Amino acid sequence: MIQPPTWVIQYLPLVYIAFLAAFTGYEVISRVPTLLHTPLMSGSNFIHGAVLVGSMVMLGLAQNLPEQIVGFIAVLLGAANVTGGYAVTDRILEMFDRAKQREKKPEA
């Protein structure tokens, strides 16, 4: 049996994943109302904080001082991205919740 060439095995699945993920991203948010544009943006800002995962791998692999310095910067920035992104998003969404509830009370 003939094996497919290496690039098919190695790269093609990744390209498929990229396309599917791009379509998913597009479809999932295509009807978001203006109301939620900020939390959507800052929520996706948090999600690309997955960059921290890569930063940690890279710092783990570092073998000399320059690599350690740049790796350290990567983890530092990645950690800031992920925690800051989460905190901002949660704070905004909490406000939306609270504003909604506060308005409901007087009617009840």
Partner 1 sequence: MEWIYDIIEPVYLLAAILFILALRAMSNPATARGGIVWAGFGMLLAIGVTILIPVTLPSSSTLFLNFVLMGIAIAIGGSIAYYAAIKVQMTNMPQMVAIYNGMGGGAAGAIAAVDLMLSNWPANQYAPLDIVGGLIGSVSFAGSLIAFLKLQGWMTQKPVTFPGQNVVNLVVLGLAALFGAFFIIQPAFLAGFPVSLLAMFFVLGLLYGLFMTLPIGGADMPVVISLYNALTGMAVGIDGFALNNFAMIVAGVIVGAAGSLLTYLMAKAMNRSLSNVLFSAFGAKEETGVELKGSLKPTDPDDVAVQLAYSSKVIIAPGYGMAVAQAQGKVKEMCDILEQKGVTVKFAIHPVAGRMPGHMNVLLAEAGVSYDKLFDIDEINPEFATTDVAMVIGANDTVNPAAHRQGSPLFGMPVLEVEQAKSVVVLKRGQGKGFAGIENDLFYRDNCKMLYGDATDSLSKVVQALKKL
In angstroms, give the least distance from the CB of 4 to partner 1. 17
Q: Name which position in 2, 4, 34, 108 contacts partner 1 (CB under 8 A).
A: 34
Does the protein bind partner 1 through residue 22 (CB under 8 A)? yes
46-105: contacts with partner 1 (CB under 8 A): 46-64, 66-68, 70-100, 102-104
What's 36's DSSP letter?
G
Torsion, CA 64, CA 67, CA 72, CA 74, rounded to 10: -160
Q: Name which position in 1, 2, 4, 30 contacts partner 1 (CB under 8 A).
A: 30
Q: Which tokens in the block code for residue 47?
A: 């999600």
Burial of residue 36 (number of CB atoms within 10 Å: 0-12, 13-18, 19+): middle
Does the protein bind partner 1 through residue 37 (CB under 8 A)? yes
In angstroms, give the least distance from the CB of 2 to partner 1. 23
Does the protein bind partner 1 through residue 4 (CB under 8 A)? no
Q: How many CB atoms are located within 10 Å of the residue 85 CB?
A: 19
